[in-house]
Structures are given as C-alpha cells and as structure tokens.
Amino acid sequence: MNSNTQRQSIAGPAGAIECAIDMPAGRAHGTAVVCHPHPQFGGTMDNKVVQTLARAFVTLGWRSVRFNFRGIGGSQGAWDEGVGEIDDALAVIDAFHEPSFMLAGFSFGAYVASHAATRLADDRKPRRMVLVGPSTQRQAMATVPADTLVIHGEADDVVPLAATFDWARPQSLPVVVFPGVGHFFHGQLHRLKTVVVQELTPRVAL
C-alpha cells in the first residue's frame, strides 16, 4: 500500500499465508482484518478496494492486516472452493487477534468474512464488520450482526444490487448504495474510504 507496509508470512492450514500490515500513527486501537475478492478472477490483497478499506482503518487508528488466500501471491496451497479460504481467514484472525478487532471483506472476501465471524467464539467476535459489494448471488452469505456496514454499487454488474437486498431484507439490514457505481468502485474509491471512516467513527451523544 505504501513504503511503510510490512510484509509477513504466518502459518496457515495449507501452508504459509502472505500478509501485509499497515500501522496508524501512534498507538493502534486494535486490528482490522480485510479479505480480498475471488482468487480465481484475479483477486489479491492488493486489490484497490481492499487497499481502500485498509486505508480507512488506518485513518481510524487501527492496524490493518490484508492477506492472500491460499495459492495466491506468496501464500501456499490451492483453491479450495471457498471452504479452505474461510480457514485461511480464521488463521489470520488468530495470528493477529487483539481484544478489539474488526473484520472486513470485498466481494468474495465479504462471503469469507461473514462465515469466519460465525465460527468465532462469542468473546472473540469482531467489534464491527464492513462488507463491500458482498458476493450475495454466487455464494451463500451468512447472517451478520445488525450493526454490519454493507456497501454496494447501484450499477454493480458482477453482483446485482437486488441480490444483496434479497440477502439483507430478512435481516432488516441497511445497505448503503452508491448511485451509478459498479462493482469495483472506479472513480469512487476516495468516497468509499470517506463513507467507511464516517460510519465507523464513534458518534457523540447530544
């Protein structure tokens, strides 16, 4: 993401997992783990939306951890139909876990994040979740906490907005819609970061 990004490998269920860590100025409030889009369609931890989420967390004062799923970049192993990829996310969460942590994902990464969260013990659940362009049509997304921040582009041609509404509706889960924006948020990455920062900034009671 920048010259200060730290690269580190951790032990995963299919071998080493390549991670990228970015630190905020001063002491971090906790750690945010960000999951990348579909590995079979060019998704990596260096995806622009994933990096934007990482920047948002760093701006908020959190350490951000991105990682490559098995078989991508410096991560060992091979594609496992989304099953092993959830295990990869859990390994990263375990390696970098702090009492206060957040979990995020883009597209397929949102699917992974939703299921990883369900497998964490109650005392290890993420403080907040951020799901951008969640893969609600091709994957069976898990139910998520009511305060999950879900963001979707109105003109998404990879995951139709209607599919995300169909997933969110039974949960009474709000969806933040970017008008006229496609799946990869081209030209809107700065706005995406701004919205994430605004939505995750603690509100002051009046």
Nearest to 140 by CA among 156, 118, 120, 172: 118
- Residue 1 inside a domain? The answer is no
DSSP H or E stretch at residue 112: helix 108-118
Counted domains in the chain: 1
User: Cα torsion at 187, 191, 193, 198 (round to 10°)?
Assistant: -170
- pLDDT of 203 reads 67
Within-domain flag for 106: yes
**pTM more than 0.85:** yes
Range of the domain at 128: 6-200
Report yes or no on 24 lying in a domain. Answer: yes
pLDDT in tens, 106-143: 999 999 999 999 999 999 999 999 999 999 999 999 99
Q: How far apart are CA 150 and CA 186, in angstroms?
A: 18
Question: What confidence score (pLDDT) does residue 202 get?
Answer: 82
Q: What is the DSSP letter of 159?
A: S
Give pLDDT tens digits for 146-194: 999 999 999 999 999 999 999 999 999 999 999 999 999 999 999 999 9
Q: At what angle do helices 83-96 and 108-118 cross, to 10 degrees?
A: 70
List b or e across 126-136, with b for residues whose CB sees 16 or more CB atoms inside 10 angstroms: bbbbbbbbbbb
Q: What is the pLDDT of residues 65-109, one digit of tens each?
A: 999 999 999 999 999 999 999 999 999 999 999 999 999 999 999
